């Protein structure tokens, strides 16, 4: 392994030779000596030393501080200042160049050795840190995910290339702006903005709608986490993964399930009408209804569970919230069958009324329709985990105009 190479910059020749001999005595290799700032830069470009020992006060138009700044910015070579001046003004100027150490003249060999080794170690660590930053920056820039960094005041610090393409806005336009600019420009809803604004000191994953610069709706899975650096606290890293294709595929799949369920229900009703028109034992009738309820649960329950998971209502959530989400899901499902419903509350009970019914004429003649929908509501209500009961209070065979059900909830 070759010894560490040094460049000595000192305008007094006797002092420069003394530093050279002392450095070589410590095992270092001096690749050049310069007497001016301009010469120091030229030698640094040519020799590429591992470290520069730079006197602050040099003869000529360029002093050591100016030369050190050029060498650091252009060549990334660490500089240790040599100076007999320790006044505040000079040191403040020198600090701006980010030096790796100071040696106050006169100095001992051990001080020279320590300053050089500490500077080399610090530069090595800084280089590794810079490499890490560059890799992280490259990773962010090349990521297909949308990445945004917010400060503790919800101001945008940076966005990546994918985020720029999504919004059609350059990063310098977004930098320093509050994240609310995304809502003002129509990219996100107030609900999504509220979710982003509530992230301080927490980690959260949620799904959100995002309208790109063309106005096209995208579905984004957002993962946000609080991070800290050595100099900053309360930063929020937001990563958005585009799940539009997955959501669209799920919607198509759910539509197919609904259509299959609708066709199965239609088919079951048609095939069961002759059976119920004849005189059969109640046990057989109940067995037919149970068979339908089992098939209904197998096909439809997974869709219900996915809906509740998306709403964050799985496992011990508030009874009223779960019930209202269930009614919304049930109304949507029945709507796909051409049935419009209306929910109203009367004292301690909820009443669900079927306002329209596709098979109204047949249903007034045959009990199969009322039995089927009673089975559907009673079975689906059990999926919620809510303590309570479902009671059918009117059927289409009665004089009542519409079929109605009562829900009685028992608080846990």
- Check if the beta carbon of residue 401 is closer than 8 Å to that of residue 381: no
Tell me the domain boundaries of the chain: 5-139, 143-242, 246-409
Mean per-residue pLDDT, 380-385 = 92
What does CATH list as the number for 246-409?
3.30.1380
Task: Give the pLDDT score at 277.
Answer: 47
Superfamily of domain 143-242: PAS domain (3.30.450.20)
Task: State pLDDT tens for residues 271-281.
Answer: 555 555 445 67
Q: Which residues contact 356 (CB under 8 A, 6 or more apart)?
A: 338, 339, 340
Q: What count of other Cβ atoms lies within 10 Å of the Cβ of residue 114?
A: 14
- Enter the tokens of residue 167: 């919004």
Query: Taking 80 as the threshold, does the pLDDT of residue 384 lie above it?
Result: yes
What pLDDT, in 10s, does the model give residues 153-204?
889 999 999 999 999 999 999 999 998 999 999 998 888 888 887 766 668 8
Identify the residue with better confidence: 367 or 293. Answer: 293
Whole-number Å distance between alpha carbons of 311 and 324: 12
pTM over 0.75: no
Average pLDDT on 32-39 reads 92
CATH architecture label of 5-139: 3-Layer(aba) Sandwich (3.40)
Instruction: Compute the mean pLDDT over every residue in the chain, rounded to the nearest whole number.
Output: 84
pLDDT of residue 405: 93
Residue with more model confidence, 300 or 379: 379
């Amino acid at each position: 392994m070759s010894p560490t190479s040094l460049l000595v910059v000192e305008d007094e020749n006797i002092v420069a030779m003394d530093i050279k001999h002392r450095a070589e005595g410590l095992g270092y290799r001096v690749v050049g000596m310069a007497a001016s700032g301009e010469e120091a830069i030229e030698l640094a470009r040519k020799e590429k030393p591992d470290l520069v020992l730079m006197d602050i006060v040099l003869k000529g138009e360029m002093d050591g501080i100016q030369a050190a700044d050029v060498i650091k910015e252009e060549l990334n070579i660490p500089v240790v200042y040599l100076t007999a001046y320790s006044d505040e003004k000079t040191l403040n100027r020198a600090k701006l160049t980010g030096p790796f150490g100071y040696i106050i003249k006169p100095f001992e060999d051990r001080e020279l050795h320590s300053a050089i080794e500490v500077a080399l170690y610090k530069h090595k660590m800084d280089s590794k840190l810079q490499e890490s930053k560059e890799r992280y920056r490259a990773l962010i820039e090349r990521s297909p995910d949308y990445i945004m960094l917010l400060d503790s005041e919800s101001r945008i610090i940076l966005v990546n290339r994918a985020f720029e393409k999504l919004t059609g806005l350059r990063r310098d336009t977004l930098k320093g702006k509050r994240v609310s600019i995304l809502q003002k420009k129509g990219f996100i809803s107030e609900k999504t903005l509220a979710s982003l604004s509530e992230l301080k000191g927490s980690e959260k994953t949620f799904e959100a709608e995002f309208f790109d610069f063309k106005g096209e709706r995208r579905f984004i899975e957002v993962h946000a986490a609080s991070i800290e650096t050595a100099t900053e606290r309360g930063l929020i890293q937001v990563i958005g993964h585009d799940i539009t294709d997955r959501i669209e595929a799920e919607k198509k799949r759910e539509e197919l399930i609904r259509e299959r369920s609708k066709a199965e229900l239609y088919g079951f009703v048609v095939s069961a009408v002759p059976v119920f028109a004849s005189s059969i034992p109640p046990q057989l009738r109940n067995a037919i209804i149970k068979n339908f309820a089992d098939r209904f649960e197998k096909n439809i329950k997974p869709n219900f569970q996915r809906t509740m998971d998306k709403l964050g209502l799985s496992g011990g959530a508030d009874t009223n919230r779960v019930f209202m989400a269930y009614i919304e899901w049930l109304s949507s499902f029945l709507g796909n069958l051409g049935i419009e419903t209306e929910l109203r509350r009367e004292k301690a009970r909820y009443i669900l009324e079927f306002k329209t019914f596709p098979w109204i004429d047949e249903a007034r003649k045959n009990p199969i329709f009322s039995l089927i929908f009673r089975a559907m509501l009673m079975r689906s209500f059990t999926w919620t985990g809510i303590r309570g009961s479902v009671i059918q209070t009117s059927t289409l065979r009665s004089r009542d105009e519409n079929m109605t059900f009562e829900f009685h909830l028992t608080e846990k």
